[in-house]
Amino acid sequence: MAKADVEAIKKAKDGLDVWDDIFRYAKLGYDAIPPDDLQRFRWYGIYPQKPNVGHFMLRVKVPGGDLNVEQLRTIASITRDFARGFADITTRQNFQFHWLTIQDLPTVFERLHAVGLTTTGACGDITRNIAGCPVSGLDPQELYDTRPLIREVTNYFLGNKEFSDLPRKYKIVISGCSIHCAQPQINDVGLQAVRRFHRGKSEVGFHLYVGGGLSTQPHFAKKLDVFIKPEQVLEVCIAVTKIFRDDGYRQRRNHARLKFLVADWGPERFREELIKRLGWTPEPAVPVLEPIGPVQQDHLGVHRQKQADRYWVGTSVLTGRVTDAQLFAAADIAERYCEGNIRTTNQQNLLFPNIKFEDLNAAIQAIQEAGFLVEASEFHKGAVCCTGNEFCNLAITETKHRLREIISYLESRMVWDEPIRIHLNGCPNSCGQHHIGDIGLQGCLARLNDGTQVEAYDVCLGGRLGGDAKFVRPISRKVPADKVKYAIENLLVSFRCTRKEGESFGQ
């Protein structure tokens, strides 16, 4: 479909208005779905799955990555009954199923809605899952428990037809975490908790970042000179979204994200427009008292919570892929040890919260028996990847098996005892966030000397978020996919041989 057609499709019928049609097509069959409605299916988290012969990918939103046991059991049951036994945790804390048919969707939606889960707005030109820190409400160092705000903003935008025809996809994070793990710098809207001392007392509010995003043209969000109080967060989100809806670019799909408007306007003009929309002037931003970083951690391992005698256990799920058996086991563990709660992270991992000290050993044993790694290698913990050509129509290369092969090879070759983030993508779109990896791998094709075309990766280095945020720079182009593991090994060995005292790989 030509990219320009999407605007026409939205004008002809709103993406959210395809809901009743989904049920009609479930009776008529896949072949009855016209291409325009297939496009609108995205508004309910439904994507045609490669090779487009009647199967779908379905994305379920998990606001802030916060799930209860009934919800996780429902995810597990859908995985078992409709998705051929596996699901993926995404870099936006969602779950994704594959292999669903149009006939499956009514039952799947019924099960999801029965436990308060939704796919509405999981894809399409609309507000996507609102992300947050996965240890909100648990972390002794957190500045603010943002879960109520995430719920409030989620509920406001959910199915709201005032905001269902945005120029492009639109991503909000609201984070109270002290290490900025929710990545406000690479979202369209990032609200990051900060503390100020004002009129003799300590007070937490939010700094506002706008216009971040990765994809093929990565931009860091610009910080506006505002201090937003918690009770102002929803109003500010609405105002920013109205600016995007009304002033965002719609001529070209690859130039329609909020980041392009922010880049053209600059933060000062954007702030002026925000004030006009609000009808009041936010107070100015404050000096950040807490140092930023270390960033991009995932709260893995065993940690004491702010609640007395409670711990969370963060586990590393390589490539985010989990089986139905693992999900059922995780739900049983959450019910028995975690007060019915479980969290997903934006690095595709699972956290088990609220464990009593006396239960810690038994819970860890159960978690490990379910196949989740509590003590994983640094390679394993920092690995992230996208869906790749197994299911994604835009992919150039396979990703999940390749990343597993790379991590397993590196683990067999060396002990690496400092954090390292290897992000792998099947194309330049960066759903696996290769732009911010210590090592970023971007899928492409290469031609060998004998003329054969093979999957390959551009090997890039040096991406990071935080105070000295940078995107990766390519250092080797078109490395054949089966040779990437050797290229990374060489890089790491060479770093070890030449590193200066105190230097880390990410520097």
b/e sequence 201-228, b meaning 16+ C-beta within 10 Å: eeeebbbbbbbbbbbeebbbbbbbebbb
- Rule CB under 6 A: is residue 96 a binding residue for ligand SF4? no
Provide CB contacts within 8 A for 386, sequence distance 6+: 91, 392, 395, 399, 424, 425, 426, 429, 430, 431, 432
- Written as six digits, the tokens of 325 are 């058996």
We find the least distance from the C-beta atom of residue 131 to ligand SF4, in angstroms, to be 17
- Rule CB under 6 A: is residue 90 a binding residue for ligand SF4? no
Q: Which of 119, 154, 347, 387 binds ligand SF4 (CB under 6 A)?
A: 387
- Written as six digits, the tokens of 402 are 């390749």
Q: Which of 179, 425, 505, 506 binds ligand SF4 (CB under 6 A)?
A: 425
Q: Which of 83, 429, 458, 459 binds ligand SF4 (CB under 6 A)?
A: 429
Distance CA 285, CA 205 (A): 10
- Rule CB under 6 A: is residue 395 a binding residue for ligand SF4? yes
Stretch that binds ligand SF4, among 152-160, 217-225, 299-307, 419-427 (CB under 6 A): 419-427
Which residue from 153, 133, 164 is spatially nearest to 44, judged by alpha carbons? Answer: 164
Contact predicate 403/383, CB 8 Å: yes
Distance CA 381, CA 314 (A): 10
Cβ proximity to ligand SF4: between 42 and 222 the closer is: 42
We find the least distance from the C-beta atom of residue 49 to ligand SF4, in angstroms, to be 11
Mark residues 204-223: x for contact with ligand SF4 by CB under 6 A, - for none. Answer: --------------------
- Rule CB under 6 A: is residue 394 a binding residue for ligand SF4? yes
Provide CB contacts within 8 A for 492, sequence distance 6+: 410, 414, 416, 505
- Strands of 161-306 (E only): list them: 172-175, 189-198, 201-210, 222-223, 301-304
Stretch that binds ligand SF4, among 103-111, 166-174, 384-392, 494-502 (CB under 6 A): 384-392
We find the least distance from the C-beta atom of residue 38 to ligand SF4, in angstroms, to be 17
- Rule CB under 6 A: is residue 431 a binding residue for ligand SF4? yes
Cβ proximity to ligand SF4: between 56 and 312 the closer is: 56
Stretch that binds ligand SF4, among 20-28, 171-179, 274-282, 382-390 (CB under 6 A): 382-390
- Rule CB under 6 A: is residue 427 a binding residue for ligand SF4? yes
One-letter amino acid of 434: H
Cβ proximity to ligand SF4: between 150 and 322 the closer is: 322
- What are the backbone dihedrals phi and psi of residue 86, each rounded to the nearest 5 degrees, phi first? -145, 155
Distance CA 486, CA 505 (A): 17
| Angle between the N-to-C axes of helices 69-82 and 324-337, in degrees from 0 to 180, rounded to the nearest 10 | 170
- Rule CB under 6 A: is residue 377 a binding residue for ligand SF4? no
We find the least distance from the C-beta atom of residue 335 to ligand SF4, in angstroms, to be 33
- Chain residues in the site for ligand SF4 (CB under 6 A): 386-388, 392, 394-395, 425-427, 429-432
